[in-house]
Amino acid sequence: MAKTRQPNGASSIFLGKDGKWHGYVTVGVKDDGKPDRRHVKRKTRADATKAVRELERKRDSGTVGKAGQTWTVTTWLTHWVENIAAPHVGENTIDGYRVAVYHHLIPGLGAHRLPKLEPEHLERFYARMQKAGSAAGTAHQVHRTVRTALNEAVRRGHLTVNPASVAKAPRLEEEEVEPYTVEEVHKLLDLANKTRHPARWVVSLALGLRQGEVLGLKWTDIDFELRVMTVHRNRLRPRYEHGCGNRCGRKPGYCPQKINIRRETKDTKSRAGRRPIGIPEPLVQLLLQHRHAQERERRLAGDLWTEKGYVFASPTGEPLNPNTDHHEWKDLLKAAGLRAGRLHDARHTAATVLLILSVPDTVVDAIMGWEPGKSARMRRRYQHLTNRVLTDTADKIGGLLWPLAEGPPLDGQK
Nearest 5°: phi and psi at 199?
-65, -25
Task: Classify 395 as helix, strand or coil.
Answer: helix
Please report the pLDDT score of residue 364 as a whole number: 78
- Give the largest Cα separation in the chain, rounded: 112
Q: Note the CATH number of domain 73-166.
A: 1.10.150.130
Top mean-pLDDT range of 1-15, 150-164, 178-192, 250-264: 150-164
Segment 339-362 mean pLDDT = 78
Least confident of 96-105, 242-251, 292-301: 242-251
Segment 148-156 mean pLDDT = 94
- 240 pLDDT band (50/70/90 cuts)? confident
pLDDT at 407 over 60: no
pLDDT at 382 over 70: no
Sign of the CA dihedral 117, 120, 121, 122?
positive
Which pLDDT tens digit goes with each residue over 384-403? Answer: 555 655 566 567 666 667 66
Residues of the chain with pLDDT > 90, as a percent, come to 44
Q: Please state, rounded to an integer, the average pLDDT across all residues of the chain.
A: 85
Task: Please give the residue that has the higher pLDDT: either 291 or 4.
Answer: 291
The answer to whether 48 and 42 are in contact (CB under 8 A) is yes
CB-CB neighbours of 265 under 10 Å: 19
Which pLDDT tens digit goes with each residue over 262-296? Answer: 888 888 866 767 888 888 888 899 999 999 999 99
Q: Is 199 exposed, middle or buried (0-12, 13-18, 19+ CB in 10 A)?
A: buried
The DSSP bridge pattern shows strands 240-241 and 35-42 to be unpaired
Please report the pLDDT score of residue 397 as a whole number: 64
Instruction: Starting at the earlier edge strand, list the strands of the sheet with 21-29.
Output: 12-15, 21-29, 35-42
Which pLDDT tens digit goes with each residue over 112-139? Answer: 999 999 999 999 999 999 999 998 889 9
Segment 370-375 mean pLDDT = 72
Nearest to 13, CA basis, from 147, 236, 5, 266: 5
Segment 209-238 mean pLDDT = 92
What's the CA gap between 17 and 3, in Å, rounded? 11
Residues of the chain with pLDDT > 70, as a percent, come to 85
pTM of the full predicted structure?
0.65
**Could you tell me the CA-to-CA distances from 152 to 71, 84, 85, 148 in Å, in that order?**
13, 9, 10, 7
Instruction: Return the CATH number of 182-232+268-387, one of 3.30.70.890, 1.10.443.10, 3.30.1330.10, 3.90.660.10.
Output: 1.10.443.10
Please report the pLDDT score of residue 369 as a whole number: 81
Please report the pLDDT score of residue 104 as a whole number: 97
| Inter-residue long-range contacts of 13-20, CB under 8 Å, 24+ positions, other chains counted | 13/45, 13/48, 13/49, 13/52, 15/45, 16/41
The answer to whether 337 and 187 are in contact (CB under 8 A) is yes
Please report the pLDDT score of residue 205 as a whole number: 85
